[in-house]
Chains A and B, each alone.
Chain A
């Protein structure tokens, strides 16, 4: 390769070039300075959901459920382990009626772009369920108003009635799905790396309304059984 060809032109570094580099450095440092460093869960104290959620309270007691047959996708399990730092699955029975309800908590201590909580409607439909209904409703539980999402999912002829809410950082997210990403960013602006909790209760039933009432009762009873600090770990502050 003849070296002379390359030396045909020399573009010297001038003031305008240095100004650009200065601007680039300024952006880098400004972004680094703005990046939240403290984790919200460390600020609050790390929740231990296995200990926080009592095995029996009010009219409810935990029961052992035999292995159900459902389709397990190994890749899905791997993905869950990657996203969540704590997963809690329990079955509770209402002592007075014998009705059973599934409680599922999925917690991730670091909500980033790639580790944001998965919404149940996305998980259920990628597991082959059909989402029949999905809407938001206000729930008054323990004198707090929480927006819960109601979902009806169907797999072959089995219907599952689901109520869930998502807490990101210091509050329960309401409104459309992209709001959980916005909530994460708002926590970021306050200087915290947000954590995220998906609280889901479900019952296998063909009737949505009685099922939702049972779930509301459960959430209400559960919150009443917890200390204010433990409540905050489920439904946030405010």
Chain B
């Protein structure tokens, strides 16, 4: 691409955006309001509490980006905005809820209130602009955004602990079948001369979140008519991410056993994380393929 076409491409992008603003000043005004309200939240998530840089919550920005992209895409698919009637009353209900979450959320640093408020405020904007008809058109991206809300530790903590215990139990049992000198004490795995601690990050809660989000996104983008697939696949993702984590713990144990603890903590640790994610995705696609075969049979009957 030559420089001139690139510049003219940029210019036409700029014209496009200008025309959008020109065509929908009300929408852009409301979006500017949202930006004022939630830019401090975004700033905090990256620079103050750094939650979105934290392993446990780092799926947040990805979810936000995907949701916003879907919102934009669906909005353009809208046949004709002029036929949509605003529902100011419902919109105000959403705004009031958003305000009641936002103010204590920001003042007292309750992050799930703050991010929850964004969901309600966005729903309010959609209702104000296009009423329930537009809301039903955009309900998926809005729902998808819920995955972004960081959950309180009091809720995740016990779940994480139970998952860790189960992951180490299954991993040790499998290693035992393969005749490795292995023993387990709670979440500490002894393998030969090494002792490995199954950390919180290995519990699989994060994998579960990411795979669940990706699975739902996939189902929505492909538009399946089959109820079976839409319901069963998200449920199957729970055992799938569990299995993927067992695989990761086993791989890490074997790396440490054969190559020493530096290898197990070094770049191979990150590598095992990748293997885990790819294994999870492959298992998800395999499960989906099976479901497709099953539902096809169902229709043939």
Known: A1-B12, A31-B102. 17 other contacts (CB 8 A): A9-B81, A10-B24, A11-B27, A13-B26, A16-B86, A16-B88, A20-B30, A20-B95, A31-B105, A114-B51, A122-B157, A126-B199, A128-B197, A129-B186, A155-B185, A181-B154, A188-B107
Assess whether A156 is interfacial by the CB under 8 Å rule. Answer: yes
Measured CA separation A222–B45 after assembly (Å)? 40
Contact indicator A114/B128 (Cβ below 8 Å): no
Contact indicator B185/A27 (Cβ below 8 Å): no
Measured between beta carbons, the chain B residues less than 8 angstroms from A73 are 197, 199
Contact indicator A114/B36 (Cβ below 8 Å): no
**Contact A75 to B199, CB < 8 A, known contacts A9-B23, A115-B49:** yes
**Contact A34 to B197, CB < 8 A, known contacts A9-B82, A10-B24, A21-B30:** no
Assess whether B181 is interfacial by the CB under 8 Å rule. Answer: no
Question: Mask for A1-31, Cβ within 8 A of B = 1, else 0?
Answer: 1010011111111101110110111011011
Question: Mask for B43-63, Cβ within 8 A of A = 1, else 0?
Answer: 000001111001000000000
Assess whether B77 is interfacial by the CB under 8 Å rule. Answer: no
Checking B19, B26, B124, B187 against A126 with a beta-carbon cut-off of 8 angstroms, the contacting residue is B187
Assess whether A130 is interfacial by the CB under 8 Å rule. Answer: yes
Bin chain B's interface residue count. Answer: 35 or more
Question: Mask for B128-166, Cβ within 8 A of A = 1, else 0?
Answer: 110000000000000000000000011001000100100
Contact indicator A32/B54 (Cβ below 8 Å): no
Assess whether B201 is interfacial by the CB under 8 Å rule. Answer: yes
Chain B's closest residue to A33 (CB) is: B107
**Contact A17 to B188, CB < 8 A, known contacts A73-B197, A112-B49:** no
Measured between beta carbons, the chain A residues less than 8 angstroms from B195 are 71
CB distance from B167 to the nearest CB of A (A): 13
Measured CA separation A122–B125 after assembly (Å)? 41
Assess whether A125 is interfacial by the CB under 8 Å rule. Answer: yes
Contact indicator A113/B199 (Cβ below 8 Å): no
Assess whether B29 is interfacial by the CB under 8 Å rule. Answer: yes
In chain B between 71 and 111, which residues have their CB closer than 8 angstroms to a CB of chain A? Answer: 80-82, 86, 88, 91, 95, 98-99, 102-103, 105-111
Measured between beta carbons, the chain B residues less than 8 angstroms from A126 are 161, 164, 187, 199-200
Assess whether B25 is interfacial by the CB under 8 Å rule. Answer: yes
CB distance from A159 to the nearest CB of B (A): 14
Contact indicator A6/B91 (Cβ below 8 Å): no
Assess whether A35 is interfacial by the CB under 8 Å rule. Answer: yes
Question: Mask for B9-22, Cβ within 8 A of A = 1, else 0?
Answer: 00010011001101
Enumerate 7 A-B pairs (CB-CB under 8 Å) in ascending A order.
A17-B26, A18-B29, A24-B34, A24-B121, A25-B33, A31-B102, A189-B108
Measured between beta carbons, the chain A residues less than 8 angstroms from B19 are 3, 6-7
Measured between beta carbons, the chain A residues less than 8 angstroms from B185 are 128, 155-156
Assess whether A136 is interfacial by the CB under 8 Å rule. Answer: no
Measured CA separation A116–B33 after assembly (Å)? 32
Measured CA separation A194–B16 after assembly (Å)? 49
Measured CA separation A74–B264 after assembly (Å)? 13
CB distance from B8 to the nearest CB of A (A): 13
Checking B20, B33, B109 against A20 with a beta-carbon cut-off of 8 angstroms, the contacting residue is B33
Contact indicator B33/A32 (Cβ below 8 Å): no
Measured between beta carbons, the chain A residues less than 8 angstroms from B199 are 73, 75-76, 126
Assess whether B37 is interfacial by the CB under 8 Å rule. Answer: yes
Chain A's closest residue to B110 (CB) is: A113
Measured between beta carbons, the chain B residues less than 8 angstroms from A181 are 154
Measured between beta carbons, the chain B residues less than 8 angstroms from A214 are none
Question: Mask for A116-130, Cβ within 8 A of B = 1, else 0?
Answer: 100000100111111
CB distance from B130 to the nearest CB of A (A): 9
Measured between beta carbons, the chain A residues less than 8 angstroms from B187 are 125-126, 128
Contact indicator B37/A11 (Cβ below 8 Å): no
Assess whether B226 is interfacial by the CB under 8 Å rule. Answer: no
Assess whether B285 is interfacial by the CB under 8 Å rule. Answer: no
CB distance from B49 to the nearest CB of A (A): 4
Contact indicator B109/A188 (Cβ below 8 Å): yes
